[in-house]
Amino acid sequence: MQRRRQQNRFMKSFRYLLLSLLFSLSSTAVALPEHKAIPGGVAVIPLEKPSKNSAPVVTYNKRRAMVVKENDNWVAVVGIGLTAKTGRHSIKVKSKGDIPYTQHFVVKPMKYKTQHLNIKNKRKVNPNAEDLKRIRANKKEIIGALTLWSDNNAVSTDFVLPVQGPFSSPFGLRRFFNNQARKPHSGLDIAAAQGTPIISPADGKIIETGDYFFNGNTVLIDHGQGLVTMYCHMNTIDLKPGQFVKRGEKFGTVGKTGRVTGPHLHWAVSLNNKRVDPKLFLAKETKGK
């Protein structure tokens, strides 16, 4: 009888331990990017109404946005374009079996610095007719990759730096090439010597590679749910489209191809086809490099 009681106590303790473990696993917080609702930023929006079934579908400016589960809540992770107007913005939320609704968030103003660069190759500033034809073809390929949507319930937004080096040109700079105004800097430049290894900041799939007029040797990686990263001015590319790459895995080296003033990596992060500040996806200790 005493032995049976001991066995019962053991089974109760074991069940309690198992339930506690399952609860802790289900309520673990995911690593989300930093919430910074500004032009070129990311809005991390806890959804107001719970979804009874699967993940809700969220759209922003008619384009599908990332949705992840944090603890027991659904959270939308929305990229905001550099040209976005400040003020009230909205997302549309639709869950299976539930009534669709609209949720609002506010985009605050952000003033970016100005940068003047002198480019020796004049065609990289004022392309000729043949160059423009190539640029249009390049743009079509790049946009095709940046607008890709792939379902991924385990998408990782906890990035490591793709290359070690100082941040030489921050995201969002208002740029002038040879005193001519150009589009804002839509990525983060990391200075490094030619041949320095480039690693993937998170698991993903190579979806496009190419030698482009402005970007030089380029790789685009799909991480899922509209999160795509791009790497430009590379020297060598080790992987091909269709191949998978793991977090921390090398896929190429730093170069000085395309429109550059020296060797460096231009790293861009696209979320729902909006270029956003890559530093928002990095751990705090690496943001100020």
What is the identity of the amino acid at 105?
F
For residue 33 the two structure tokens come to 């990017």
Residue in 97, 100, 87 with CA at minimum distance from that of residue 59: 100
Q: 42-107: what CATH class?
A: mainly beta
**Residues, the chain:** 289
Task: Say which CATH architecture domain 114-287 belongs to.
Answer: Distorted Sandwich (2.70)
Sequential pLDDT tens for the chain (289 residues): 445 544 544 444 334 333 333 333 333 456 899 999 999 999 999 999 877 668 899 999 999 999 999 888 899 999 999 999 999 999 999 988 788 999 999 999 998 877 666 766 666 667 788 988 999 999 999 999 999 999 998 898 999 999 999 998 889 887 665 665 557 788 999 999 999 999 999 999 999 999 999 899 999 999 999 999 999 999 999 999 999 999 999 999 999 999 888 999 999 999 999 999 999 999 765 665 6
The string of DSSP codes covering 59-98 is EETTEEEEEEEETTEEEEEEE--TTPPSEEEEEEEE-TTS
Helix, coil or strand: residue 59? strand
Give, in order, the Cα–Cα distances in Å from 80 to each of 110, 112, 140, 220, 280: 12, 15, 21, 20, 12
C-alpha 146/C-alpha 220 separation (Å) is 8
